[in-house]
Amino acid sequence: MSTVLNISAYKFVPLPDTETLRDTLLARANDLQLKGTILLAEEGINLFLAGPALAVRNFVAQLQQDPRLADLVPKESWSATQPFKKMLVKVKREIIRMDHPTIQPARGRAPAVSPATLKRWLDDGVDDAGRPVVLLDTRNGFEVDEGTFQGAIDWRLGKFSDFPQALLAHRDELVDKTVVSFCTGGIRCEKAAIFMREHDLPNTYQLEGGILKYFEETGGAHYLGNCFVFDERRTVDARLDPKPSSPA
């Protein structure tokens, strides 16, 4: 029986008080006996937590009392065991490293496409304007190997900071197409979509909520395989149930 609630959430929002937040959030999570990882940076917060449902939701409710995080909406899934070994709260330069300081989603994010709209586009083969749709996987190669959208572009990234150079090398292939960037939970594809728009690819979108939200709302249509997650579950299927990782 799956009784452990797993959540992931992020938000790009100015957080100049990261050091104070780190101590507060670590103490709060430990009091609630939660495990996982919270990353804090001046650009925002990125968190992965697991524990009893009441404790997890209590933590989220307290987070949302901060006006800067009031609209934080976690993605939820369940597991039979605790997928994290410890509770960590870290202050980083970026909550997802891209090494491009000019990319600041808190100042304005790229347009997003909902899971339902993306499914409809993929069903039809074109977007609402009749343009061909291409899916761009912004995850690392080893994550893509566990599963991805059918026909998605995979540049075999070793790390997300490789994305800008890969985009510059392949930009001309994306001109005149509608490009939907996607990743596990939305954080990488959010920065990727901004970067692409800044390089004259105006018909670029991010998949709202990433693969996990797409699974939750569509059942995984047009997606092949599982989704890699960075905890001891390793991968989840389209029902968000833990699945064994594919053989190496």
Catalytic residues: 183
DSSP 204: E
Dmax over CA atoms of the chain, in Å, equals 53
Instruction: Compute the 3-state secondary structure of the chain and give helix, strand, coil in percent, each to the nearest 5.
Output: 35, 30, 40
φ and ψ of 237, to 5 deg: -90, -175
What type of residue sits at position 145?
Answer: D
Q: How far is CA 178 from the centre of its chain?
A: 20
Distances (CA, A) of 139 to 7, 16, 167, 213: 19, 28, 13, 16
CB contact at 8 A, 228 and 146: yes
How far apart CA 226 and CA 129 sit, in angstroms, is 31
Question: How far apart (Å, rounded) are the C-alpha atoms in residues 182 and 144?
Answer: 11
How many other C-beta atoms can be found within 10 angstroms of the C-beta atom of residue 111? 12
